[in-house]
Structure 1
Amino acid sequence: MFDCIMRIIVIILIVTLCLGIANSDSSESKPRQKRAWIIDSFTIEEEYPGPYPYTLGKIHVERDYRVAFKLHGNGVDEDPKGLLEIDETKGIISVLGKVDYEKHQVLKLKFEARNVSNQELDTRLGVEITILDINDHPPKFQLSVYETDVEESKEQGTYIITVVATDDDRPGSPNSTIQYRMVSVTPDTPNTEFYIQDSGRISFKGCLEYEEAQKYTIVVEAKDGGEVKQLSSTSTVIINVLDKNNHMPVITGRSGTGRVKERESGLAILRVHTTDEDSKGSAAWRAKYTISGDKGEHFQIHTDPETNDGILTVVKPLDYEEGSERHLSVTVENEEPYFSCQVKRKTSTEKWVLNKIRADTGKGGLPIPVSVNITITVEDVNDPPEFKPTQKEVMVDEDIMTGYLLETFTSVDPDGGPTSEIEYVIGDDPAGWFHVDPKNCQITTVKTLDRESPYVVNGTYTVTIYSIDKGNPPMTSTATLTIHLSDKNDNLPQLHMRTVSMCLSDESTMTNITAYDMDDAPFSGPFRFELLGDVKGKWSLDSNYGTTVNLIKKGTVYSGHHQLQVKIYDQQGHYSLQNISVIVCDCSIGTSCLVRGAPSTNVNSNAIGIVIVSLLLLLGCLMLVFLLTCGREKFDFPFSNNSGDVLLTSNIEKPGTDCKVPDNSDRLLPLQVDHHQTDVCQSLYGQKATMQYASTFQQVGNQTSGYQNLYQNREEQGYHLYGGTNSMYKRMTMQHTKSMTDRYQYKALTLGGKHSFSKGGAFLLRKEAITSLIYQRLSSIQTLREELCDYDPKVYADEGDVATQSELDCISMDEEEFAPDDFLNLGPRFITLATICSPKPALH
């Protein structure tokens, strides 16, 4: 009963729900009158060959009234545009052209049907058109040419390179499935076979051989799996084989003397010649040499980079006495490890059966290196003597006597010569303290040793001794003697400073004085100081023991220099007396009390050297002047007999009426020629010039004599005019007379026209001419009583009798003796003298 009721309730609910849904659909459809439908999709084959257009399909919409069809979307008004069209009255869809699957896999469109009478939307449908892919794209390689390098020592099956091709057809379809294969391999070698896997990975079987093929060219094809047709493309793979060491070097010979003199080094004595079939210049070709049997490591061998030869060089001197021959073994191998590969059997699998040797891993056994035996001959030469031992040390006191036997060295000849043929000489002995016996090498002292010498360093003095044999050539060896000098108390204490300064004060002041001793302890400080002399109440020492003590000045000491004497004892009681100069000065005058020591003259070696150099330079200058003035080089000194050639004639005037020149021709004296002066001139200017000089003086003797007499008269007149007291005038007149005489003598020399003089003579003539001209000018302005500017004596009033004026006694003036020749050496001062002695010109 209960079950029946439940079933009735369920049925009622279902019916009610269905009626509600139906009413809802009818209520919605009545106002819109439209519905969107999705129909079955159409398909278009990619790249269909046509003809175009062709009918793709028809959309069926059954209505009692006429409708118009419209199509929108891909292929109509969206990309790819113009591909599809629809008949507006029949609803037939047509294809107008080709479509590319790789660009458009699906075309989505919207179909609409409208009522023609009222243009209301009747039906809207979604249309999908699927593009069917065809095999229209061949596989494409990423590169048209692949290139790689591979070493010839690589194991078979080693990865070489991978080629990659892609297909633009639908992924996963047979049209995009790619298979690889090798079309060709060039060159085709019997021991190498290349293969490619499905992934494009390329490898090889067998052995690579650089000598057979340095490069392989492989053409690889990629083909798709199209059902209708299959498309393919190719690419080229270039494999460069790198040469490795699969050929051992071979020694073909040697060249060189193979002989070396003992003690020689740095010489190439032998070359080992080697050939190798690997690539020249590579690590597989370059040879590496090793030497065995060289116990003393005297030899070294290196590789010539051009020829690959081994050059054997002596790097450490050999000794003939240790053996006249050296037996060596030279082994050669390459820088790169050796390998070898041979094909024993080919199989259909990926790897063949090989016989391979690798030196780097030891696989297959190690190769036997190539070697050659070499004998080197050592030639005997003169060996230097050998000191045994070469160094010795000795300790002596510094005050040992001269002739003391210090040490003896022994030297032997390794060539077996007698020891008596070895000579010994002293080497480095900067102080010159020692002598070595040339026969037995006994070293003795020749001077007293001094530990405080600057050549002694830290109490040690070093001497070297040479031993010389008499071989050809003579050879030398050296021994060293180190001498340790024991200190003795041979130096007395000294003061560091012998001059100190102190300030003047009423109170006691002090300063430091320091002593030193060149000896070492216990022969030096600390010292004991003692003041000597009258120092009580004036000077004292504060703590008279030590290296430095205080010198105390009492207030009673006055300012100035004070000399004190200090007695200084060392630790052994030896003493010295030292003088110390103390300067006491007033420090209030300045900022400090300056030390004013006693004047002294210290001339160092540099100053002496400068003085010597200056003297040498001065001597050189004097010698140069002497050579220039006394040289024998001649030059022409032109003279003209007629001065009118260069000067206008100006002596045409007649004598004036206000001047009378007395005729003193009767007083002319002949010119005297000094024979001593003639000898001097001959020595300076030559005999010829001297004879011309004397002859010319004889020709003008009358003129010069007359001129002398004329001035002598004027001298007498001037002397009387000035009362005989004007000695200056007398001297000037005498000198002027002499100068005028010289001037006329010079003029006489020029009468001969053009003469040849030495440079010294020309200089003398010029000097005399200038001197004569100066005195001529002075004479013209000193003519007595005839100057135009002279005035008559002025008459003064009578001042009384001279005899009655006792207070106006004559004043005697002592005349100082003066030689007239002093005027000859006045030099530039003569101008001042002439200005003073010359009267001022009268003004009209």
Structure 2
Amino acid sequence: MRKLTLALFFAVYICSVAVHSRIRQKRTWIIDSFNIEEENPGPFPYLLGTIELDRKYLVNFRLHGSGVDKEPKEVLKINQRNGQIWVHKKVDYETFQLLQLTFEATNVSSDKVDTRLGVEVKILDINDHAPVFSPPHYQATMNESSAQGQVVETMNATDGDDSQTPNGTFSFNIISVTPKTDNVEFFLEPTGASITEIFFRGCLDYEKANTYTIVVEAKDHGDKVQLSSTSTVTMNITDKNNHLPEITGQTGPGRVKERESGVEVLRVQVADKDSPGSQAWKAKYTIHGDKEKYFQIETDPKTNEGVITVLKAMDYEEQTSRNVSLSVANEVPYFSCEITGRPAKRLWDVKTFNEGPGKSLPGFPKLYPVTIAVEDVNDPPEFVPPVRKVGIMENTKLGTHLCTLEAKDPDKTFASKFHFTKGEDVDNWITVDPETGEVFTAKVLDRESPLLKNSSYSVILYVVDNGEPPMTGTGTLIIQVGDLNDNLPILEVNTLGMCLLDKATMTNITAVDLDLPPYSSPFTYELLGDVKGKWNIDPTRGTTVHLVKEKTVYSGVHELQIKVSDNQGLSLTQNLSVTVCDCTSTPNCHLRRSSGAQVGSTAVSIMIFTFLLLLAIILMAFLISCKHEKKMIMTDDEPGWHLLESNIETLGTDCKVPAKITQVESIQTLKAKPNLISTHDGISKQEVIQQNHQQDYYDSTFQKEQLLKRSLQRNSTRRSYRSCHSSMDQVKRNYSIYSVDEFQLRQNLLTQIDQNLFQLQAPGEELGDYEPHCYAYEGESMIDPQLDAISLPENDFNPNVLTNLEWQFNKLASICRPDLKS
């Protein structure tokens, strides 16, 4: 033992020298190494080992580094006297795999470091971590048409133990598959130490299983104990078209009335085993044998039925039924997968088919025959021809026969009795015999009518049969009106302006004729009157010619007469007003003349406007002066609590009704001479009163009549004014007869009322003075000396306060007189 100690000492010495000889090296040797098993349960503390040094003097032992004064702290401690190392708590391998320490031996007497050694403590890993999947749960989606051998999902797992030991290595395994079906099998293929992939072999079938739940286990290879964990893969299958649709029947009438379109005639039912609502289930229909495109078929999105509707109306007389064929497919291509063998440890033997362009399953699509019956109904009659043209000269006499309408009925089973009538005849040119269809003119036709287009007038005609229900056919009659020379040529303008020059000047004149050639242009122009040496036309024939003014013509307005004849010699003499002026001051003589006329009309308009404005101002002033002033009663919450003395009555006076002079005189006369009626110049006063009343009415009526006359003069013609004047005279005569009787009755009533009022007025016997009347006398009042006199303060109330309450009196007034609120 002694020899071992000395050898150890020399080895330590040599290493110590080496430490100082090497540069930037923390330690050069390790005196010893110890092992600690992670997660050792104790009991603590327990002895790890002892460091011994052979010295003849006393030394103290110290430890520094990981596990003592560095993380993980306070795991290890050393006995200063004997060098024993003790473990005080657990250490986790996944956190610390190695603890590096420094051992020092210090001389007790000199307190100098005698020896410095390195110590390593290895943490021994144990199998305390199971493999963990990341993520813990997987979701995968596969199409039903996916081929075998495709990756379903890639899975990943990790183990916290040392990957260099069996504790940190693991393997994958499929624990279970739910549900278990015979058409598919899942297997794993590792792609690394911690990654594996899931594959399938066989054929997926949505109808057998639309979801698979696969449980995969990851298990480590620990010596003493093996730890594991599981993860779940949920694989959802998307349904694809592996079942063909099949037409199972039809519903609906299967018939349509002729000339009917846009109606549903048939529904076709289909069966499909694919998932309802998916593209593999949705049907797509096609019609075969319908070259004329009479029908269309659409898919009902709720029931997946094929709905056949009529696009174009059919005719029973052409064909009584239509035969077509239907086929059905799905919105996505069809595929199939069939298992033929199941060899071990490799992909199975399968037979597949995928529909594509130019590639279809033999025997498909299947055709389903459909017959649509056409029902006969009453067809409308037809004009023969539908558009008929007739010619007639204008100005032909009324009632001229134009043509006889003809119609036919395309029906073979219905009656063919027709009734003709007009549809649209804008100017009522024709009449139609409803039974025979004969067409006659209803007025004298005019080719120059604005209703004609290219000398043609169109009339819409109807023909109605007597079927059930009655049907109506429509036709067009085009009346082509021939032209006659029934219009005279007229000048386009009747006023011209020309410049005053020292030489002859010219301007253009043009005539128009509503007739067509040869009854219109070219025209022949001729000046009438004394125009020699002053005016002439060059040339005299044409549509537009030159009016030549000689230099001898003076300035001013010249009225010329010009005769214009059409190509057939029909002529019209017209006036042409030519204004000649000095163009140096006025470029356009015609504009100067028009400007003067415009100024005159403007002045008249200003005068009329001024008069109307003045009348409106007077009327507004009259309305304002007659307006009643409305005073609003204002409110006040505090009335003031004042009372007005009411013992201010005085003697009253009798009211007298003022009588009119004529009424009083009439009353007095009746009293004196009841049977006498005073006269003046042979006319009674009553007649005078009646005449005065009538005269007032006549004056008022005459003023209104004069105002109406002035209005009519500005806005109407003389003929309408004479009619209104005659009406006013008739009104005046009617009122004159009525007013005498009415005035006589009114005057008699007023006379009786005034007479009664006059008799009530008794002169000298008005409201007189009356002596006081004593009723119940109760004696003198007694005074009790025991009662104190009630002293009333000075009353400083001013009665005038109540006269200016205004809005403060509203509350009391609203209670006493609710009608004042308005």
TM bucket normalised to smaller: 0.5 to 0.7
Aligned match of 1:216 = 212
User: Does the Cα contact within 8 Å between 1:156 and 1:207 map onto a contact in 2?
Assistant: yes
Whether the 8 Å contact between 2:339 and 2:349 is mirrored in structure 1 is yes
Deviations 1:58-83 (A, max 9, x none): 66777776554444433223322222
1:196-207 equivalences in 2 (<5 Å): 196-198=188-190, 199-207=195-203
* Counterpart residue number, 2:30: 39
Q: C-alpha deviations, 1:734-786, integer Å up to 9, x for none? A: 759x99xxxxxxxxxxxxxxxxxxxxx999988865576679999999x9xxx
Cα separation, 1, equivalents of 2:348 and 2:241: 22
Residues 551 and 408 from structure 1, CA distance in 2 versus in 1: closer, same or farther, beyond 3 angstroms?
Answer: farther
**Structure 2 vs 1, CA of residues 323 and 417 (structure 1 numbering), >3 Å: closer, same or farther?**
closer
The 1:431–1:54 alpha-carbon spacing in structure 2 relative to 1, beyond 3 Å, is same
Match of 2:69 among 77, 94, 101: 77
Change (3 A) 1:598 1:98: closer
- Per-residue CA deviations over 1:761-816 (Å, capped at 9, x if unaligned) read 999988865576679999999x9xxxxxxxxxxxxxxxxxxxxxxxxxxxxxxxxx
How far 1:464 moved relative to its partner? 4.3
Who wins on radius of gyration, i.e. which is larger? 1
Instruction: Return the letter of the residue paired with 2:368.
Output: V
Question: Which residue in 1 is equivalent to 2:703?
Answer: none
Distance 1:584 1:159 in 2: 108
Distance 2:754 2:421 in 1: 78
Q: Paired residue for 2:133, among 132, 136, 141?
A: 141
Name the CA shift for 1:335/1:522 in 2 (closer, same or farther; >3 Å): same
Q: Residue 321 of structure 1: CA displacement?
A: 2.0
Q: Distance in 2 between matches of 1:311 and 1:764?
A: 92
What's the offset of the Cα at 1:232?
0.7
Separation in structure 2 between the aligned mates of residue 208 and residue 158 of structure 1, nearest angstrom:
12
2:299 alignment partner in structure 1: 303
Counterpart code for 1:310: G
Query: SS of 2:222's equivalent?
Result: coil
Partners of 1:547 and 1:267 in 2: CA distance: 66
Contact kept? 1:501, 1:595, Cα under 8 Å: no
TM-score for both structures, normalised by structure 2: 0.60
1:761-780 matched pairs, under 5 angstroms: 769-770=749-750
Q: How does 1:559-574 map to 2 (within 5 A)?
A: 564-568=560-564
Describe how 1:449-468 pairs up with structure 2 within 5 A.
450-458=446-454, 461-468=457-464
- Which stretch has the larger CA shift, 345-354 or 433-442? 433-442
State the percentage of identical aligned residues.
Answer: 45
Q: For the structure 1 residues 390 and 36, does the alpha-carbon distance in structure 2 shift closer, same or farther, using more than 3 Å as the test?
A: same
Kindly report which structure 2 residues correspond to 1:7-18, keeping only aligned pairs within 5 A, or say none: none
Cα distance change of structure 1 residues 272 and 35 upon mapping to structure 2, 3 Å threshold: closer
Q: Is the 8 A contact 1:585 1:593 kept in 2?
A: no
State whether residues 35 and 123 of structure 1, in contact with CA within 8 Å, keep that contact through their aligned partners in structure 2: no
Paired residue for 2:252? 256
Confirm or deny: 8 A CA contact 2:418 2:464 kept in the other structure.
yes
After superposing the two structures, state which structure 1 stretch, 290-299 or 431-440, moved more: 431-440
**SS of 2:317's equivalent?**
helix
Corresponding residue number in structure 1 for 2:156: 164
Do the aligned partners of 2:408 and 2:416 also contact (CA within 8 Å) in 1?
no
Which residue identity is paired with 1:707?
K
Q: SS in structure 1 opposite 2:273? A: coil
Instruction: Answer yes or no: is 1:595 the counterpart of 2:597.
Output: yes
Give, in whole Å, the separation in 2 of the partners of 1:171 and 1:236: 24
What is the deviation of 1:562? 7.1
Following superposition, the deviation at residue 104 of structure 1 comes to 2.6
Residues 354-391 of structure 1, C-alpha deviations (whole Å, 9 max, x = no match): 34444448889446445433333322233334456545
Q: Give the count of matched residue pairs.
A: 626
> The residue matched to 2:217 in structure 1 has which SS?
strand
Contact 1:341 1:355 in 2 (8 A): yes
User: Does residue 1:709 correspond to 2:673, yes or no?
Assistant: yes
Match of 1:289 among 285, 288, 291: 285
In structure 2, do the counterparts of structure 1 residues 569 and 172 end up closer, same or farther at CA, with 3 Å as the change threshold? Answer: farther
Shift of 1:234: 0.9
- Name the residue aligned to 1:194: 186
Partner SS for 1:272:
strand
Bigger shift: residues 38-47 or 308-317: 38-47
**Within 5 Å, which residues of 2 pair with 1:166-565?**
166-198=158-190, 199-360=195-356, 365-366=361-362, 368-386=364-382, 390-391=386-387, 411-416=407-412, 427-433=423-429, 450-458=446-454, 461-480=457-476, 491-496=487-492, 498=494, 516-518=512-514, 532-533=528-529, 564-565=560-561
Deviation for aligned residue 1:236: 1.9
TM-score for both structures, normalised by structure 1? 0.59
Measured after TM superposition, the shift of residue 424 of structure 1 is 5.7
> How do 1:82-161 residues align onto structure 2 when only pairs under 5 Å count?
82-89=74-81, 92-112=84-104, 114=106, 116-120=108-112, 129-161=121-153
The structural deviation recorded for 1:298 is: 1.9
Q: What is the rounded CA distance, in whole Å, between the counterparts of 1:762 and 1:404 in structure 2?
A: 62
Query: Contact 1:146 / 1:238 at 8 angstroms: preserved in 2?
Result: yes
User: C-alpha distance in 2, partners of 1:598/1:29?
Assistant: 135
1:217 partner letter = T
Structure 2 letter corresponding to 1:274: V
Q: What's the counterpart of residue 605 of structure 1?
A: none
Q: Distance in 2 between matches of 1:341 and 1:383?
A: 58
Q: SS state of the match for residue 175, structure 1?
A: helix
Q: By how many angstroms is 1:140 displaced?
A: 1.0
Shift of 1:250: 4.0
* CA-CA distance at 1:221 after TM superposition: 0.9
- Which has the larger displacement, 287-296 or 432-441? 432-441
8 A contact 1:508–1:554 mirrored in 2? yes
For the residues of structure 2 that align with 1:442 and 1:414, how far apart are their CA atoms? 22
C-alpha RMSD of matched pairs (Å): 5.8
Asked if the contact 1:568/1:575 (under 8 Å) is kept, the reply is yes
Cα deviation, 1:182-218, whole Å, max 9, x if unaligned, reads: 1112222222222233243223222333333333222
* Structure 1 residue 45 displacement after superposition: 3.6
Moved more, 234-243 or 46-55: 46-55
Deviations 1:504-537 (A, max 9, x none): 9999999997755545788777978766556789
- Hey, what's the Cα distance between the residues in 2 that align with 1:508 and 1:711? 97
Cα distance in 2, alignment partners of residues 412 and 392 from structure 1: 15
Kept in 1: contact 2:265–2:309 (CA 8 A): yes
Q: CA deviation at 1:154?
A: 2.8
Letter in 2 for 1:85: K
- Structure 2 letter corresponding to 1:177: T
Question: What is the SS of the residue equivalent to 1:595?
Answer: helix
SS of the equivalent of 2:673 reads: helix
5+ residue gaps in structure 1?
Answer: 1-24, 600-647, 654-663, 669-702, 740-760, 784-844
Show structure 2 runs of 5+ residues with no match.
Answer: 1-15, 602-650, 657-664, 694-740, 764-822
What residue number does 2:617 align with? none
Per mean C-alpha deviation after superposition, the further-off stretch among 179-188 and 488-497 is: 488-497
Greater shift, 333-342 or 234-243, is seen at: 333-342
SS at match of 1:593: helix
Residue 29 of structure 1 deviates from its aligned partner by 8.3
